[in-house]
Amino acid sequence: MKAHPLFLALALSTGLLLQAAPASADTLLVERVRAESGNLPARGQSMAQVEARFGAPERKHAPVAGPGDRKHNPPITRWDYAGFSVYFEHSHVIDAVQAKSHPAEVGPKPVQ
């Protein structure tokens, strides 16, 4: 089978263009969060430990519990700091979440 000269020229020029273009990429929200996650409270820390290390939060939200018994729907409390929020089950950290670095930052779409 004989290769068409136009096809070969197109393939060659595309390859050269790809090599000539400098590589650049945006930093993804996920990558930023992974890089900065070392500066967040660790799972299992107490409220006292978090406050001792990070200071008083900007805002403490009231505990919210689901319907029924506390064993299956424990109270969840949220503390907001400048760059992150901390979620507590009873009085221990269950998660810490980075805030957006700026309002235009795009992350995962919210669950609807």
Q: DSSP state, 96?
A: E
What was the pLDDT predicted at 45?
A: 97
What value does the mean pLDDT take over residues 62-88? 90
Q: What are the tens digits of pLDDT across the range 44-57?
A: 999 999 999 999 99
> Distance between CA atoms of 79 and 12, rounded to whole angstroms?
57
pLDDT at 60 over 80: yes
3-state secondary structure of 33: helix
The rounded mean pLDDT for the chain is 78
Q: What are the tens digits of pLDDT across the range 79-112?
A: 999 889 999 999 999 999 888 766 666 666 666 5
> Distance between CA atoms of 96 and 66, rounded to whole angstroms?
20
What was the pLDDT predicted at 66?
A: 82
